[in-house]
Structure 1
Amino acid sequence: MPEALEAVRRLLDLRHRGRAEDLPALLQDAAPLLGAKSARVLLIDYGQLELWPLRGRGADSGERVPVEGTPAGEAFEHARLITSPEYVWLPLMHGAERLGVLELHTSGAPDPELEVIAALVAELIASRRGYGDAVEHTRRREPMQLAAEIIWNQLPPLTFAVDGTVVSAVLEPCYDVGGDAFDYAANGDILHVGLFDTVGHGIGASALTTLTLNTYRNARRSGLSLADTYRSIDKWIRAQYPGSFVTAILAELNTVTGRYDRISAGHPAELVLRDGRCLPALPTPNALPLGLGSMLRRPPTIISEQLTPGDTLVFYTDGITEARDRSGALFGLDRLTGFVLDELGSGVTPPEVMRRLIHTIVSYEQGELRDDATAAMIRWQ
């Protein structure tokens, strides 16, 4: 126990002076205090396919570790401790966000305080990542296009959980996305969620998406209603990008009562999943795409639904359902629904369902997506 506390003290010292790239050497020095011969951080890449050693001073320049079929990958997939006779793998969780895995080569029985150490390492990565580029250098396995750089810098963490409610999202192609985005915020009892699909691609689309995301946040933080949030975003898109538009779902979920309100601005209806089945689709669209709202005089319609505990909502852009295989067959809504129901029925967590879904879409299109593909899931308990 005293040795574990000394390891914590050394790691905490990084909070006040240090960068993420300093963590590998610090961990290696602290490993004997944790009953380990060595310790290293493995971060998930942007494609969520492989785990890579964190770059930095004293870092192991070892090879990638696939998520599929490895103990480290199992620890990441299921967010739980995995052991072998010589190694321990612990998930690195920043809140509900999966950052990667802490791997320790043990020299005996592992210290029971390792989960505390893993939590601290995750916090250090999250807090220190902005002071250098070691985390980005580690996670990027190919050059990121500027449009994607802009979008990723706008997004919240992929997964968030509060009081039994989980929201998780994915987007692909992760190195070249430009027109799709999502956002969420939990304020009091209300979870705000927005999913956006911008017309076009590249820098132009990412600029329009940036305006849309920040106008959405400004409206939300100004206390505007759902209808007025729609009007505000619509007004700014029309003023700054006349002729352009963004399809979107703007939603609010009361995490205490389960009341769900949303506006579909020219966007496909979300899936509403309950007790292993998909409920009839909610009416959609009930407003014109953002940027075209002035073409109708009536205000946007708000659709409401009362959720029951355990319900799941799945949002998606058309890049998901309109993915095509080699023969030209669409992935389609039925295949999407069946996939999510099967995964949830097997006890797979929302972030892992989203990770597996996006890789299923990429495989369906033989690794070359024709359009941005984004999906988000809310599970209300």
Structure 2
Amino acid sequence: MTGAMQAVRDLVEALHHARPEDLPAVASRVATGLGALDIALFLVDYGQVELLPLAGEDGVVGEPVRIDGTLAGRAYTSGEPVRAGTPDGERIWVPVISGADRLGVLAAHLSSPPDDDAEFVRDLRALAAAFAGIVATRRTYGDALERTRRRLPMQLAAEIIWNQLPPLTFATPDAAVAAILEPCYDVGGDAFDYAINDCVLHVVVFDAVGHGIAASALTSLAISAYRNARRCGLDLVDTYRSVDKWVHAQHPEDYVTAVLGELDITTGTYRKISAGHPEELLLRDGRLVRTLTAPTALPLGLGYLGDPIPLVAEERLEPGDALLLYTDGVIEARTEDGEQFGVDRLVECVTKALADQLRPAETMRRMVRTLLAHQRDQLQDDATALLLTWTPAAGV
């Protein structure tokens, strides 16, 4: 049995009854099987600014590592191992990724180069994948992982929203979704969701009226109603009508704007209802092709005021196309002297990252860092964006 296989077996056996805070001790135990001095697990914070070391049962916490400008951060952003010499050996950082969702990095410390370098790196990546699965599943069993990821106290409204959301990133061979949500510790009315069913990728972005607990409660209802309609097999029109009905019934004085979209990943056909929401941006070959039709229906909760059958707009994508869905808080973010972030700056951020061949998740991380810098990290409104890319594996 190879050292890697023994390490993975030890990992699985040790985790049958392990708590989240036991992961550092388990990692140290596994390090021996790989011939490393130690292995440390770093988790990304909610704002994707720092990589934060997971504290063990003894409560000892290492130093956080900034993502931008560090070797560990390069492993996180690139998705590839990064290594460097140290005074007492070598350190290798390996990304910890669950599916396409970036969770952090694994840092292995070696006293001397391994006998088979390539094999050792492959073993580390396999171990990082095992830890990714563990982190993704164990986060609901205790609070250690959640506490580690928080650089600031999370407000209750944001807690409600984050508990409803899927991972920020998802990918198949044919399509990918990457989203951001800010201010991550104080968001209230914005949210997103997605799901893949057969050949249809469902996406939605919500923006509820108001702020704080009231807005998060309204958004939470909209997400649940949307998922219920989708899981009942309703089409776009009936999904809109179902969510609209529940929002109006439970919050008769309020409303939610939204884009409800469906992408056929085999043909590239994108169908959507824009419920009082800003238009999506269609990006192709590093430039903005056009904005899509919007709105096509009244906001959710106000549907009773208009046509009972909302308009479904359709767009045929080309391989490599990207659609950017966003809430108005993105383009309306202002500097102190009132200059808006605007659509042009948004397009510039995203197209530059795509031209640099960055992965969708890193494209969105950099975009939100630029957005926050524009408003000096003090957003006046929730800002959510979702990038949907279509890259058919076999062509069409």
Alignment check: 8 A CA contact 1:50 1:64 kept: yes
How big is each residue's C-alpha offset from its partner over 1:262-284, in whole Å with a ceiling of 9 and x where there is no partner? 00000001110011221221111
Q: Which stretch shifts more, 296-305 or 371-380?
A: 296-305
- Tell me the SS of whatever aligns to 1:247: strand
1:360 aligns with 2:370: yes
Report the Cα distance in structure 1 between the residues aligned to 2:253 and 2:259, rounded to whole angstroms.
Answer: 20
- Any gaps of 5 or more consecutive residues in structure 2? 115-119, 392-396
Shift of residue 106, structure 1, vs aligned partner: 1.2
Among 333, 337, 340, which residue is 2:343 paired with? 333
The share of aligned pairs that are identical, in percent, is: 53
Q: Distance in 2 between matches of 1:90 and 1:60?
A: 22
Deviations 1:163-215 (A, max 9, x none): 23110101001111010000000000000001000000111101000100000
Note if 1:183 corresponds to 2:187.
Answer: no
Output the amino acid matched with 1:139: R
- What is the CA–CA distance in structure 1 between the aligned matches of 2:60 and 2:40, rounded to whole Å? 7
1:52-84: CA deviation from partner (whole Å, max 9, x where unpaired):
111222575111100011110000011111111
Amino acid at match of 2:277: H
| Structure 1 residues 247-298: Cα deviation after superposition (integer angstroms, max 9, x where no partner) | 0000000011100000000000111001122122111101000000110134
Q: 1:231 aligns with which of 218, 231, 241?
A: 241
Superposed, which structure 2 residues align to 1:211-250 within 5 Å? Answer: 211-250=221-260
1: distance between equivalents of 2:277 and 2:138?
A: 38
Q: How does 1:360-379 map to 2 (within 5 A)?
A: 360-379=370-389
- Deviations for 1:8-40, whole angstroms, at most 9, x for unmatched residues? 111112442212211100111221221211110
The 2-side partners of 1:364 and 1:257 are apart by 38
AA at the equivalent of 1:56: G
Matched, 1:324 2:334: yes
Once the two structures are superposed, what CA deviation does each residue of 1:205-229 show, in whole Å capped at 9, x if it has no partner?
Answer: 0100010000000000000010000
Instruction: Quote the Cα distance in structure 2 between the aligned partners of 1:261 and 1:79.
Output: 32
Number of the residue aligned with 1:259: 269
Question: For residue 25 of structure 1, what is the amino acid of its counterpart?
Answer: A
How far, CA to CA, are the matches of 1:153 and 1:96 in structure 2? 19
Q: Residue 36 of structure 1: SS of its match in structure 2? A: coil
Root mean square deviation, CA, Å: 1.2
1:103 aligned to 100, 104, 107, which one? 107
Cα distance in 2 for residues equivalent to 1:221 and 1:68: 40
Give the structure-1-normalised TM-score.
0.98
Moved over 6 A (4+): none
Check the 8 A contact 1:25/1:58 in 2, yes or no.
no
The answer on 1:140 being equivalent to 2:150 is: yes
Check whether the contact 1:147–1:202 (CA below 8 A) recurs between aligned residues.
yes
- Paired residue for 1:89, among 86, 90, 93? 93
CA contact (8 A) 2:208 2:257 kept: yes
Per-residue Cα deviation, 1:324-357 (whole angstroms, up to 9, x for no partner) = 1121111100111111111100111110111111
Shift of 1:376: 0.5
1:130-157 Cα deviation digits (max 9, x unpaired): 1111111100111111000000000000
